[in-house]
Structures are given as C-alpha cells and as structure tokens.
Structure 1
C-alpha cells in the first residue's frame, strides 16, 4: 500500500525559499518561480527536513529528477552547501549563535586559504623539474597557512563545544593534516598514489555535511 506524502509544513517551506532568495538555488539559473525539491528522494527518507530540501525552478527540478540527466545528487548537495547561510540564520546572539557563526566563517576562510597551497605543494613536489628553492618556498607558505587553520579549528571547537558539528570539523581537518604529513614525509618526486589523490574531493561530502549541519543548528 502506497504511503501518502504529507505536505511540506509552511514554515519549513518558507525557510527553504528564504535560504535561496526565492530563486532557483543553482547559481547559473536563479530562475523563478520555484518548487521545493528533496535532495534525497522523499520515497527514501519519508520525511521533510530543512537540510534535505532545496528550491529549484521547474526546469532544473525536472533535470535533477531525471536519472540520466546532468544534475546528480552530489552536485545538488553542493548547491545546497553554497547557499548563503546568512539568509537563513538569525544573528541574535542567543546561546552564542553569533559567535558560533563567526567561528564557522573564520574556519571556512582559513581552510580556503590553506588547502589550495597544499594542493600546489603536491603538484610542485611531484615534478622532477621543480627546484629545491621552489619546493621550500611553497612548503613555507603552506606551513604559515596551516598555522592559521589550526587556530581557526581550535576557535571553532571552542565556540561549538562538544557536539557532532565540532567533531565533524575536527575530522575534516585531521583527514587533511594526515594527508599533508604523508606528502611531507614522502620522497621527491612524490609516488603515484599520493600524486593521484584528490584531497578536495575526499572531503567534499563531509564539508557539505558540515555546512548543512551548521545551518540547521543555527536556523532558529
């Protein structure tokens, strides 16, 4: 027997629309009018949750629902993560919300500065033509950015306390840090297994989950 699908509560629908600015959440589209889509199909989750809902125009919604279409679930999760959290978060500092959001924004900024340098370091250390001076220069830059990232992670975990969000942020950081240690201790040029690892891809889903968890926790 088929399970009837309940309506999305009006308040939840309003939050999803505000998050996307009442436009299609796909940045190259931004069309109106919009519909509310489930990132993981309702038939699987059987519930309506903010973190799993996104505003899409009818055309993008149809493309997403097409199993052979160009928009997959991973892309849709990234579109959700890219939405501006300030649109859906009250900045009243109740229970330290403003401090928690500020710590998250700082964490994102520091990771955005650190990770590209580490990726560049891998690329340079992978090439036989790279000089020792060039390798040492990019290594020094990476160490500087790492120091800032460590501070941002510590501040984030202090602001968020003992929580699933704090644990996930730490797990993302230490996953990258372990990779950096492998790169640093590996011989020059780097072996193929390290050269071929895509660290940004490895943390992409966890990073999207972190963003959605932050938005969900602070959207009160």
Structure 2
C-alpha cells in the first residue's frame, strides 16, 4: 500500500522577491552574509505544507545545510528572522498578522514582566512579615504597578498566540494575582505554609508555566523541546521565592 505524498509547490515569485529584498540579497545570518542564496523554511515544509513569509528565510547553501543538520537550531533561526525586521524600521511583513518571531518576543516579554511582579510580591510578603513600622504602603504600590504591566503583557501574548495561549497566560496571571491578594489581605495561608503545602503551591505555579509553554509552542508549530523554557540560563524549575516569614515558619520535622 502506498501513501500519496503532497507535492511541494514552487515558492511564488513575488514571495521569493520579498524574502530576498528583506535579507538584502545576502545570507540572513549577520556573521555570514554570503552568496549564492537559497530559501529555507524555518518550520519544515513537511510539517506546515505552505509557503509563508514569516516562516521563510534566505540563507547561503552552507548555512542552509548547517540548519538542516541541526548545527543552528530553529529558535536561533527565528531570531535571525526577527533581526531582519529590527534592522529596517519601515519593514512590514506581508500577509502576516501573527508572525512567529513576534509571538516569541511577546512570550519572553510576558515571562520578564511576570518574574518582576513575582519578585515584588515576595518583597511585599517579606516586608509585612518582618516589618515593624506599619503596613508597607510603598511595596503595595510597586506591586500594583507591576501587576498592571504584567496584565498588559498577558493580553498581548494572548492576542498573538490565540485562544489556547490566552487561557494559559491568564491562568499564570491569575495564580500570581491570587498570591498578591492573599498577601495584601494578610491571609494566614500566605505566610504560614507547611513544607508540603508550599511544595504543592509552588508546583501549581510551575505547571501553569508548563501549560503555557506547550500552548505557545503549538501556536508556533514547534515541539516544546524546540523552544527554550526561558530565554536566559535559569534553573529548570523557577519557582516562587519563599518569603522569609514563610521560611521561618516551616515545621522542623517536615
């Protein structure tokens, strides 16, 4: 029994021209810039079965071979595509309402803003637990301001990533909002968790990030292993910091 294979169509000439012009008729990798040139699909044709501007890039034969061989990973290639856009402030991608590079950028921005908000909540928790000069109003204002920025980053990520990504990003945001509300409301559970309770609480946060990562990768037509969980080198399980008050109240026999 034979399986019918979809014949790969030729790249339309107008699209090829746009790709070559975008790269300045040179290899898109800045440290190369060689010729002659070939057109490559970042996510392979065999997976997407279509020619799209945001998923295609111009490379020299050597860099194209290195990319196919895995010497240059897909995440790096999306970044090279993004650098082409950044190098031209008037650049507009044709027929590209949700470019993959833009989604990755929004995802990293979301992570950065959530992490900043997380740190402010942890600082607020510590200030309340250890403070002796009244309620730390300054910490509350800072936390609220970072929450607003995180909300905007959440909305932008959801806009670019689609329904599944929007729901997963909202879940991450809501987890942090509940934590912040519990701290501001002085709920005992925010300051006095057992070790087992803390580990479960922290695991919930971690798994919310895992679910979001999977949704973002699905929108990008990537396997979750093909996109770094975090952009910078950070520990694999980036869990919320333990406030000093909580740490001191853990039972010694847990």
- State the TM-score bracket (shorter-chain normalisation): 0.5 to 0.7
RMSD: 4.8
Return the structure number with greater helix share.
1
Asked if residue 57 in structure 1 is aligned to residue 53 in structure 2, the reply is: no
Gaps of 5+ in 1: 92-99, 157-164, 210-220
Gaps of 5+ in 2: 130-135, 180-189, 222-254
Q: How does 1:63-142 map to 2 (within 5 A)?
A: 63-66=66-69, 69-84=70-85, 86=89, 88-89=91-92, 112=109, 115-122=111-118, 131-132=126-127, 140-141=141-142
- TM-score (norm. length: structure 1): 0.54
After superposition, the Cα gap between the structure-2 partners of 1:22 and 1:195, relative to the gap in structure 1 and judged at 3 Å, is: farther
Q: Secondary structure at the match of 2:40?
A: strand
May I ask how many residue pairs the two structures share in their alignment?
A: 180
Q: Secondary structure at the match of 2:57?
A: strand
Residue deviations 1:167-211, cap 9 Å, x none?
7467645533421221343445864325646849727547868xx
Question: Matched residues in 2 for 1:138 and 1:193: separation?
Answer: 26
Q: Secondary structure at the match of 1:36?
A: strand
Larger Rg belongs to: 2
Question: Matched residues in 1 for 2:16 and 2:128: separation?
Answer: 56
- TM-score (norm. length: structure 2): 0.48
Deviation at 1:84, TM superposition (A): 1.3
Tell which has more relative contact order, 1 or 2 (C-alpha 8 A, sep 6+): 1
Q: Secondary structure at the match of 1:116?
A: helix
After superposition, the Cα gap between the structure-2 partners of 1:133 and 1:78, relative to the gap in structure 1 and judged at 3 Å, is: farther
